[in-house]
Amino acid sequence: MMKLVFLGAPGAGKGTQAGGVAEALKIPHISTGDMFRAALGNETPVGLKAKAYMDKGELVPDSVTIEMVDERLKQADCENGYLLDGFPRTIAQAEALDQIMAPDCVVNLDVPEEILMGRLTGRRVCGSCKGTFAISRLSDPTTCPTCGGELIHRKDDQPETIKERLQVYHQDTEPLIGYYQNQNKLLNVPSVGDPQDVNNAILTALEGKA
């Protein structure tokens, strides 16, 4: 049983790392960004509410986001815990999560600011398996090397929107580092270099915490 939160700026590697770590710990990987993108694709009421905020790189209002996560955490697969990726992103969301099902551990993926911009502009996402790839490492920038699906340049990975998302991160999300430090739940993991090494560092940091 492990209730885990991944914290970090856009481009810190949350999505890249969360899949493998969730699999290793046998807990569901819950990405609010992926949930919003799926809702948008299906044109659900939540998706329609979220669209304008996502397009601008702003946060979807807390009320909408918290309700969506609350419903998700009530599903049977969360009985063994969860790995939340991209939630909470505000103090109000963290306080709500403490009421719903408080995390045991919070991994902060730490990346120097100057690296983030390059990672985000060069990022491509698979439309099928949702894998994330750096364009610099791809021989064919349009095809997913894992599943053969089509690679997409996310609309909110354009330079202007990225700037807004980084600003929102500093203003609304970075204070969560102190919030969880005060609760003695924070594990700081540098997220630079080989993704597999970062994955190992996360699992080592989590050893004995479950």
- Whether 37 sits among the annotated catalytic residues: the reply is no
8 lines the binding site for ligand AMP (CB under 6 A): no
Kindly compute the dihedral angle of the four CA atoms of residues 72, 87, 178, 11, in this order, to the nearest 10 degrees: 150
Contact 118, 15 (CB under 8 A): no
- Whether 123 sits among the annotated catalytic residues: the reply is yes
16 lines the binding site for ligand AMP (CB under 6 A): no
- Whether 89 sits among the annotated catalytic residues: the reply is yes
Binder of ligand AMP out of 6, 36, 133, 180 (CB under 6 A): 36
To the nearest whole angstrom, how small is the minimum distance from the Cβ of residue 83 to ligand AMP?
Answer: 13
Judged by DSSP in three states, 139 sits in coil
17 lines the binding site for ligand AMP (CB under 6 A): no
- Catalytic residue from among 123, 124, 130, 185: 123
Contact 147, 131 (CB under 8 A): yes
The DSSP call for residue 184 is: T
103 lines the binding site for ligand AMP (CB under 6 A): no
For residues 93 and 191, which CB has a smaller minimum distance to ligand AMP in the complex? 93
Q: Distance (Å, rounded) from C-alpha 46 to C-alpha 63?
A: 11
Contact 135, 39 (CB under 8 A): no
Greatest CA separation found in the chain?
46
Q: What is the set of active-site residues?
A: 14, 89, 123, 154, 165
Binding site for ligand AMP (CB under 6 A): 10, 32-33, 36, 53-54, 57-60, 65, 86-87, 89, 93, 156, 165
